[in-house]
Structure 1
């Protein structure tokens, strides 16, 4: 069943003063895979009954599958046993927040087209995002074999190290990826964040 805002979202309440009087605001931020949906409701303080209307509206909200995911499902059904549509389906499922469901089509796509590094990287991410660290690290290592200079494969190795709690090892792998593509802004930002985490002082020892 698709999630409702009340079951999976962060809610923010605020009161805003303006020329026409005070306005109530409620904002919902609903994470769904790689996206965050934002629902914002406002009503004037002079009409407090609107709050109940807003509550009924949010209770009825459902998040259906996007058209891109429905199309990917249809393509995989129309041409079964073909790597491309399976990879597209797995990618769409993972991005929509269903990494466990993405594993099977991505693993099938890897078996059908083992040299496709991007598919192996997507499979590793699906494993990591569904909590299957060992399988994810195995897929990341295989992606590195097929794409030793591929930044996606190198980044999968970074995710493996982080999932294992090895921040220093993750930084070494990320620095390697940066050498391959020094202009990648995303890798540069991740490297800066990891360096800050590694160099941050630990908690001071407590006196007894």
Structure 2
């Protein structure tokens, strides 16, 4: 097996990464090209293989990738429709904001989520989702404000505590982020995701910095 380096690329108008490889098998050598395209919380993976004996297949692959388009998923279209059908209701607005953020449109998610918070201010999950949308769209101060409000309404809610972790990380305060993460772990010590995040953050905090250069 021969694997090339990861290459920056573009697929369907989206930034992507591409890896090329060659595999030897019973039938001869096989070419492989794999594309990885991030979109919000998803990473699309497209893998093409063809035998070296049929090089024309490479041109078929090129035509196929040229026609790739990343359209809105059905779940997002349904969320849009529900928010339109029942305006002024917190639930559909929250689901629309959640779907937009997951699809990689956090700035678009802010408005429906903020509306949902105004309609149902005690819903901690909605406040946490709004904080995430702010952070992911680069609005750190607004995200930290939403995270703090989520903590007021849900002082022992792990989602609200995790939003505080995101706030500290967004501000570059890893020590504060670790303290908040440890607090969340005390609330739910069995949460494997929080445990893994705590371990990774501790390793980052304890990692030695670069050695000073001698002059």
TM-score of Structure 1 vs Structure 2, range by shorter chain? over 0.9
State TM-score, norm by structure 2: 0.92
SS in 2 for 1:29: strand
Tell me the matched-pair count: 200
Task: Give the C-alpha shift of residue 50 in structure 1.
Answer: 1.1
1:95-136 Cα shifts (integer Å, max 9, x gaps): 111101100000000011000000000000000001111110
Task: Give the C-alpha shift of residue 58 in structure 1.
Answer: 0.5
1:3-43 Cα shifts (integer Å, max 9, x gaps): xxxxxx11110000000000000011111111111111001
Q: Which runs of 4+ in 1 moved over 2 A?
A: none
Match of 2:204 in 1: 197
Task: Give the C-alpha shift of residue 52 in structure 1.
Answer: 1.2
Task: Give the C-alpha shift of residue 199 in structure 1.
Answer: 0.6
Alpha-carbon distance between aligned partners in 1 of 2:63 and 2:108, rounded to the nearest angstrom: 32
SS in 1 for 2:156: coil
SS in 2 for 1:15: strand
Alpha-carbon distance between aligned partners in 1 of 2:213 and 2:36, rounded to the nearest angstrom: 39
The alignment's C-alpha RMSD in Å is 0.6
Alpha-carbon distance between aligned partners in 2 of 1:178 and 1:36, rounded to the nearest angstrom: 28
Alpha-carbon distance between aligned partners in 2 of 1:97 and 1:190, rounded to the nearest angstrom: 22
Match of 1:28 among 35, 39, 44: 35
1:59-102 Cα shifts (integer Å, max 9, x gaps): 10011111111110000000011100000000011011110110
Match of 1:10 in 2: 17
SS in 1 for 2:212: coil
Alpha-carbon distance between aligned partners in 1 of 2:210 and 2:71, rounded to the nearest angstrom: 45
Higher strand proportion (structure 1 or 2): 2
SS in 1 for 2:93: helix
Give unpaired runs (5+ residues) of structure 2: 1-15
